[in-house]
Amino acid sequence: MLPLVLLTDTMKIIFLACLAAVAVATPQFEDRVVALLRDDRVANEDGTFSYALEADNGINTAVEGVVGSAGQINQAGSYTYTLADGTQAVVTFVANENGFQPQSSILPTPHPLPAHVFELLEIAERQRAAGIVFN
């Protein structure tokens, strides 16, 4: 970047106008204290636990954890928060030896497969059943 001394007056004005535009465009966040309406927590010595939190800004969460088959902690629960349009987003989940598995209407879904892909999958299945192997 050039030192400000080497810039012409017009360039300085443009530079300062750009800085001002960036400062004005920066999102302004509201300084607001969020109050907890509910805070229930239980932690047992065997590793099981549960907690439920609710805040006055619409955020809610409830989770339970139990010891899994391999000694891991399996969790199940949900969380809710308010979207920009004012509706509530609810996500339920299970986290266990199969990984994190969320379910919600707000999660993206893959595009549907075209019809010809189903035909290709059927052909491949028939080839596997016939013992045809491609290397």
User: Is 66 contained in some domain?
Assistant: yes
Length of the chain: 135
Phi, psi of 72 (to 5 degrees): -75, 165
Tokens of 66: 């139990």
Tokens of 133: 């192997």
Give the pTM: 0.59
User: Is 9 contained in some domain?
Assistant: no
User: Is 92 contained in some domain?
Assistant: yes
Query: Could you give the CA distance from residue 16 to residue 120 in angstroms, rounded to a whole number?
Result: 60
What mean pLDDT value characterizes the chain? 86
* pLDDT value of position 28: 66
Cα–chain center distance at 96: 18
CA-wise closest residue to 103 among 79, 82, 123, 86: 79
User: Is 84 contained in some domain?
Assistant: yes
CA-wise closest residue to 98 among 63, 64, 70, 79: 70
pLDDT at residue 24 is higher than 80: no
User: Is 135 contained in some domain?
Assistant: yes
* pLDDT value of position 112: 87
**Coil, strand or helix at 129:** helix
Domain range for 128: 32-135
User: Is 18 contained in some domain?
Assistant: no
pLDDT at residue 23 is higher than 80: no
pLDDT at residue 17 is higher than 80: no
User: Is 22 contained in some domain?
Assistant: no
pLDDT confidence bin for 44, thresholds 50/70/90: very high
How many domains in the chain?
Answer: 1
pLDDT digits (tens, 9 = 90+) for 68-120: 888 888 999 999 999 889 899 999 999 998 899 999 998 888 888 898 999 99
- Residue 53: CB atoms within 10 A of its CB come to 16
